[in-house]
Amino acid sequence: MVISATRQAAVLLVATGLFLGATFPIGKLAGEAGVPPTSWVFAMTSGASLFLLAWALLAGRRLPASRLHLRYYLISAPISFVIPNLIIFFCIPRIGAGLTSVMLALSPVLTLALARLLRMRRLDVAGVAGIALGLIGALIIIATRNGGGVGQPAALGWVALALLIPAFLAAGNIYRTLHWPDGADPLALAAATNITAAAMLFLAVFLSGEGSAGLASLAATPGLLAAQILSTGMMLSLFFRLQQVGGPVYLSQIGYVAAAVGLVSGTVMLGESYPLATWLGALVIVAGVALVTYSQARQ
């Protein structure tokens, strides 16, 4: 039973990472087409929410609306999706995509630290080594891939703000595990949580100054938007199931997997090229994920 659950978690991790990794080149193409970031994040979140809602209703899953569930949606949506995404898109123009990616790579380490602090996971040498390998692989990719702005000077205040990205992601991973409603269906939770996130992001569109002009710009990229919604919807449906099966520490590795997948999608979809060291970093990530999977099976 344990081995079966571990294999399921490994498949979910790879699949979730694949869909997450596919969103980055699509988002890059949308940005090049002139779509502002907050409007794009709102559109992909709201579209994915409707996708998940339709899927849940067709599957006969209802969206619980008890006080416990509503509290779960209202807390998990901002700390897991809304705030991290907004900080990411505010920081990228100011400190560079590379340095922002470094912050994302810190999420598994912080998740492991919080899980250990709260006694949610035993300190396992193989698991810690796997998380460390994943971080090393991610840093290799960031340091060796072309562009990304790693060497750009950055204001200390923006760097400090970017450090909140992995903190919120780690806190979200832990919160969703500790407060997962008893008997809750992953697909229903994914739909309801992201509907809540979409409502919050709608407000963010107007607070950011993009407003109706930003939303109108979405009409210029219908094909990209459809691809982004489908990819995000599939990623989120698997994301919550992975949370249920693998736990917060295992889930947090999707950032590592997405970084490796981003190399392939960037090469195939955008014609980007990367040095050999970057691909070696991807192999290091694979080794790290394998170690954590081994640790998960032992526990």
- Distance in angstroms (rounded) separating the CA atoms of residues 197 and 45: 7
Give the pLDDT mean for 67-79: 95
Of 289 and 14, more confident: 14
pTM over 0.85? The answer is: no
Helices assigned H by DSSP within the chain: 2-32, 37-58, 67-77, 83-95, 97-105, 107-117, 125-144, 156-162, 164-178, 186-207, 211-216, 222-251, 254-270, 276-298
Amino acid residing at 221: T
Judged by phi (left if over 0) then psi (alpha if -120 to 50, else beta), residue 62 lies in beta
- pLDDT single digits (tens) 236-256: 889 888 888 888 878 877 777
- pLDDT single digits (tens) 179-225: 999 888 999 999 999 999 999 999 999 998 999 999 999 999 999 99
The whole-number pLDDT of residue 147 equals: 46
Give the pLDDT mean for 45-53: 94
Nearest Cα neighbor of 107 from 258, 236, 255 is 255
Question: By the 8 A CB rule, do 138 and 105 touch?
Answer: yes
- Distance in angstroms (rounded) separating the CA atoms of residues 216 and 210: 10
Question: By the 8 A CB rule, do 178 and 244 touch?
Answer: no
